[in-house]
Amino acid sequence: MPHEVTDVAASAGCVLDEGASHVNAGAPYLVTRGLVKGYGEGAARMEVLRGIDVEIARGEICVLLGPSGSGKSTFLNLIGGLEAADGGSIEVGDTAITTLGKKALGEYRRSELGFVFQFYNLVPDLTIRENIEVTAHLSKNPLPIDDLLKSLGLYEHRAKFPRQVSGGQQQRCAIGRALVKNPGLLLCDEPTGALDYKTSKEILALMEQVNRDYGCTIVIVTHNDAISRMANRVLRLRDGVLVENEMNAAPVSAAELVW
């Protein structure tokens, strides 16, 4: 898979460093300042995020941990432009997300973001190839679909429908759908939550390879603390407050993870 993924990136004009590890040092790529979000009004209002300050460098794998209700998915939704913040700011690259109007937010999601969700959200009446191809049409610089299918181990399943492949293969398709746009930022909300142990590790290894060969920044939201061992940066939320923001001096490979 490494050589195939490298070939895909090269054909798309991506610059790769064969000797690179997870992260390429550089200026902050994703920055939040005083990020606030709540729901409800008056006495019924619940503050979900309470002034989150984060800086993530381009090319980092960042794992965001926390119990249910801590604000993890809300944080991801704000970065992805799916919800509006009540206060604070978000910058991704040169784009100030919190100042964008509806049309500009749509363009930001099209050009900069890839999303991977726990339950795949594939279109059941489209084949594996078609599910990826639909997203490719949204990008000005998509990756070659057939080469990507080969890299994901899905080429022989390209004409099948989602119901005809395993959960792990469906998640690979979901990753391909997000990756085909050649995004700078990949947001993953519990990407292994519906998978068994072996398949979860395969998907994490695939994300590791994607990060290494494409250089995209990856934010993974998870309940699984063990996954943090493969991250460059570990964030932890509790009751809407950032209680941990640490760099991992020696990330391990996904193959070495145990839980």
For residue range 15-26, what is the model confidence (pLDDT) as tens digits?
Answer: 333 333 444 456
Distance CA 145, CA 152 (A): 10
pLDDT value of position 193: 87
Per the prediction, the chain carries an average pLDDT of: 88
Does residue 171 contact residue 203 with C-beta atoms inside 8 Å? yes
The full set of domain ranges for the chain reads 2-256
Which region among 48-52, 59-63, 138-142 has the lowest average model confidence (pLDDT)? 138-142
- Overall fold of domain 2-256: Rossmann fold (3.40.50)
For 100-112, the pLDDT digits (tens) are: 999 999 999 988 8
What is the structure's pLDDT at 160? 98
What is the 3 state secondary structure string of the chain?
Answer: CHHHHHHHHHHCCCCCCCCCCCCCCCCEEEEEEEEEEEECCHHHCEEEEEEEEEEEECCCEEEEECCCCCCHHHHHHHHCCCCCCCEEEEEECCEEHHHCCHHHHHHHHHHHEEEECCCCCCCCCCCHHHHHHHHHCCCCCCCCHHHHHHHCCCHHHCCCCHHHCCHHHHHHHHHHHHHCCCCCEEEEECCCCCCCHHHHHHHHHHHHHHHHHHCCEEEEECCCHHHHHHCCEEEEEECCEEEEEEECCCCCCHHHCCC
Its pTM stands at 0.85
Percent of the chain with pLDDT over 70: 90
Q: Average pLDDT in the 169-192 region?
A: 92
Q: What is the pLDDT of residue 209?
A: 87
